[in-house]
Structure 1
Amino acid sequence: MKIQERIHFTFQLFLFVCVAKAKADVLTADVGDDAVLHCVHTIENFIMATWAMDFLNRSSCFLSTIGNGTLGNCSHQMHLDIDKNKMSLRIDNIMVRNEGNYTCQVVNRSGTFLYTVVLQVLAEPFVLIKIDENGHPECQAIGGKPAANISWIPESTLKVKTRSNTELNGTTTVMSSYNTSNITEATCTVYHPTFTSPIERHLSRHALGAGANNLILIPVLIIIFVLLLGIVLFWQRSNLRTCFSTKKGSPATYENPVVIVEEVEPYASFTVKVNTVYSSTNDLAQYKGTQRAGPKNDH
């Protein structure tokens, strides 16, 4: 790494001394595409040839070729291609972070030649329209690079509120709300460099009416839910009271008279019969005793 840094530093110092020519062009590419940047200068009899990258996120890297060797600190996403004394830079799967200035630097015995390409990365936004939490139509252009432009039909500058958020990947999401409840139809139009023609999204009368009705129905549904919950709780408490009162009163107050009658009557009848037999036997014994005692008294 120290040798690479020394060579790069020496090359940068040499540029300030003998810069002979400089050009700049603009190249646009979509996210996910591959791009090839061609250096306009030949590298015949070159001493050093380098692609130096200065990205918009303030980072940088370089790829250099010296003789038969290649030096650099860029990611594997970037490659040097040399063909017929031409040096090109190939970028695979372009991302937003690749946006920036790409400078081809060729040093030979005649001097130093510069050629700069400004790479602009485009990201196509995803467009949708919906009803926001206030019941108003809202149009969104999600993940665009650069930020999209949104307009409304019918046109209104006072009732339209537009805001944007910058995403972590460098794209921008634009949200535009049409703040009125007096319309029943709305159309938003989104403009972006990646579109061949503007994209329109439409909300019908039914959708807008449904959004307004939902705002009314939500508190009504909450009230109905609370009432039903109160009825259920009251019913459960009433059942619990009945259950507890039944358990406490049953041992002392409830008897089955039928069972008592069925258990007592056979015993009562058996008692009467036993007593009757006992009385008859006693009478018979007394009678026999009287018969025996009578003759003895006569003698």
Structure 2
Amino acid sequence: MWTLLRTSTLRLPISVIIMVSASVNGSSTDKRQRKLELPVEVNTSLSVPVDTKAVFDCPPIPLTSVVVTTWQIILRDKLSCTRAYRRDRNETKEGNCTDKRITWASRPDENLALQIDPVATTHDGFYMCQMVTPDANFHHGYHLQVLVPPEVTLLQSKNGTAVCRAAAGKPAAQISWTPEGDCVTEREHWANGTVTIQSTCRWEDHPLSNVSCSVSHVTGNKSLSLELSLGLIIRGFPASSLLVIFYVKFALFLVIVVIVAFIYFQRINGCRKAL
């Protein structure tokens, strides 16, 4: 199997779909026959974390056998970009290539790989290496999806609910709760392809001391817990209501103390005047 991506640069789970469209009608030597039996076209689907370096390899054809190599890059909402190298003239050309982060990985006369450094969400697209040799033409295409880990937060809101938010993830994250509650989930799509998921939950029927929010994403899972000193919902009352009741009772206690002290001092003063 061909080497699809340099493991020293980026280790990624790769699913490969091989489409063989070459047939062998005979050859003059065993070496020529082995070349023609290689897959002529290979497509690879892969996912790359944002802000990393990615390197894409061409088919493993000896450089001395390659006449022309062309990288075709098709990105979302942009013109197709091409980078080409002609070996006999040691000459490179490019067309409509404005992204300076997409370059040859090295000198084309030594290495025909393409690199992106660093990877951004705008690099979602299709990258194909086309190699022309005297024996046949070979193609290796990469369907690239850029992954963005979401920013996860868990907060207690004023109205007695808990809010778990997985902001700007790509693809969208999934949120679950422990224990399960009465939840409402909202989704917001952004122009760069990321998605924010927000889940708001309440637990009206159970006294709780803490709740946990679990966020599942292809870049990694994350779990956050919220400690509730008075309980998020206790016997149907939100924590904010309990705080109000506490402060009212404390204020009444202070008023009673002041009144008792006033009466006490009045009696003492009355006794002194009688003497």
Q: TM-score range by the shorter chain?
A: 0.5 to 0.7
Q: 2:252 matched to 1:203?
A: no
Which residue of 1 is the match for residue 193 of structure 2?
Answer: 170
Q: Please, which runs of 5 or more residues in structure 2 have no aligned partner?
A: 1-38, 245-275
2:102 corresponds, among 51, 74, 78, to 78
**How many angstroms apart in 2 are the aligned matches of 1:216 and 1:169?**
43
Q: What CA distance in whole angstroms lies between the structure 2 residues aligned with 1:91 and 1:97? A: 11
Q: Distance in 2 between matches of 1:145 and 1:78?
A: 21
Displacement of 1:83 in angstroms is: 5.7
Which amino acid is the alignment partner of residue 53 of structure 1?
A: I
Does the residue aligned with 1:23 lie in a helix, a strand or coil?
strand
What's the offset of the Cα at 1:96? 0.8
Task: Indicate whether 1:142 and 2:129 are aligned.
Answer: no
Q: Which amino acid aligns with 1:49?
A: T
Aligned-partner Cα distance in 2 for 1:127–1:53: 33
Of the three residues 143, 146, 156, the one matched with 1:131 is 156
Inter-CA distance 208–59: structure 2 relative to 1 (3 Å threshold) = farther
1:170 counterpart SS class: coil
Tell me which protein shows more helix as a share of its residues: 1
Query: For residues 1-299 of structure 1, what are the structure 2 equivalents within 5 Å?
Result: 21-42=40-61, 43-57=63-77, 59-66=79-86, 67=89, 68-74=91-97, 75-80=99-104, 81-82=106-107, 86-132=111-157, 134-156=159-181, 159-183=182-206, 184=208, 185-195=210-220, 198-206=221-229, 208=232, 212-214=238-240
**CA distance, structure 2, for counterparts of residue 179 and residue 58 of structure 1:** 45
Distance 1:106 1:208 in 2: 63
- Mapped to 1, the partners of 2:165 and 2:189 lie a distance apart of 13
Work out which of the two has the higher radius of gyration on C-alpha atoms and give 1 or 2.
1
The secondary structure found in structure 2 opposite 1:44 is helix
Quote the offset at 1:82 in angstroms: 4.1
* CA offsets 1:191-244 (integer angstroms, 9 cap, x no match): 11111xx311112232726993547889xxxxxxxxxxxxxxxxxxxxxxxxxx
Q: How many angstroms does 1:116 deviate by?
A: 0.9
Mapped contact 1:82–1:88 kept (Cα < 8 A)? no
CA distance in 1: counterparts of 2:52 and 2:135, whole angstroms: 37
Partner of 1:229: none
Q: Normalising by the residue count of structure 1, what TM-score does the alignment of the two structures yield?
A: 0.58
**Separation in structure 1 between the aligned mates of residue 226 and residue 84 of structure 2, nearest angstrom:** 55
Instruction: In structure 1, list runs of 5 or more residues that go unmatched.
Output: 1-19, 219-299
Amino acid at match of 2:131: V
Contact 1:39 1:86 in 2 (8 A): no
Q: Secondary structure at the match of 1:39?
A: coil
Report deviation, 1:28.
2.5
* TM-score, normalisation: structure 2: 0.62
User: RMSD across aligned C-alpha pairs, in angstroms?
Assistant: 2.8
Percent identical pairs in the alignment equals 28
State the shift of 1:45 in Å.
4.0
